[in-house]
Amino acid sequence: MSQVGETSSAGNILSHLNINNNTAEKKSNELGQSAFLELMIAQLNNQDPLSPQDNTEFVAQLAQFSSVEGLERLNTNFQSFSNNFMSNQALQASSLVGRSVTVPAESSRLMPEGIVSGTVNLPQSTSDLSISIYDGSGALVSRYPVGNMASGDMTFRWDGKHLEINGELSEWAAEEMAPAGEYRFEVHATQGGKTEQLATGLSANVNSVTLGADGSLTLNLAGIGPVNIADVKQFN
């Protein structure tokens, strides 16, 4: 530590500490609070009793030093909290693997002996609703003329042959059971004299989960791909 003489000023002493208003992090070669106080005592011991120095600046810088140290402790505590939060996120995310979730999508994968479920919201009632299902090559597999449907949320379930609407089995069924694979679902409804395709939410299995550096969770879904967990409409 550099020796402090009689002519040392608050600015000179502080220069040893390398502290200024733009410093937010403590460098590895900076002095700690204990050494800072030793320098202040040394200044007081070496000043001229007949002409004492004004320590206002020194005291202000000491207060700043304490504030910076407090911020560093706060940052350390926050980092610890962040690490624990991300660890908990990863633990919770691992429990999602193998489960089914519903997300906004047009395509999903039908698993062997499995079921693809979906949701649709109708802004208004319709007398002509239909669900068309296409395979991975784009060929039409089945078309189900549902007919009348009230406004609001509608759910459907498809096992590769039979279609269930709002818990009731449709009288329409495909001639053959479709094999496992990726399928695209299109729901059309005639509303206000115009036929429109409605947005669908489809179920998909969670193959894996990716935890981002910022703590964000991405679900890797079968037949759909990566989806942010915030976009999940339902955990099945």
154 phi/psi in degrees, rounded to 5:
-125, 140
Measured CA to CA, the distance from residue 205 to residue 220 in angstroms comes to 9
Percent of the chain, pLDDT > 90? Answer: 42
- Lowest mean pLDDT of 11-20, 90-99, 143-152, 199-208, name the range: 11-20
Q: 3-class DSSP state for residue 189?
A: strand
Q: Nearest-CA neighbor of 177 among 161, 164, 190, 154?
A: 161
CATH topology of domain 104-204: Immunoglobulin-like (2.60.40)
**More confident call, 59 vs 99:** 99
Measured CA to CA, the distance from residue 162 to residue 50 in angstroms comes to 101
Instruction: Specify the pLDDT at position 32.
Output: 60
Measured CA to CA, the distance from residue 204 to residue 234 in angstroms comes to 11
Which tokens is 131 given? 């669900």
* Average pLDDT of the residues in 117-144: 94
Helix 33-46, helix 56-94: angle, nearest 10: 180
Q: What is the pTM for the complete model shown? A: 0.60
Measured CA to CA, the distance from residue 216 to residue 212 in angstroms comes to 5
Instruction: Specify the pLDDT at position 28.
Output: 43
Does the pLDDT of residue 4 top 50, yes or no?
Answer: no
Question: In the beta sheet, which residues pair with residue 196?
Answer: 189
Instruction: Specify the pLDDT at position 59.
Output: 65
Which tokens is 47 given? 């000043």
- Lowest mean pLDDT of 68-82, 160-174, 187-201, 216-230, name the range: 68-82
Per-domain boundaries in the chain: 10-94, 104-204
Most confident of 31-35, 43-47, 78-82, 226-230: 226-230
pLDDT in tens, 34-48: 676 677 677 666 665
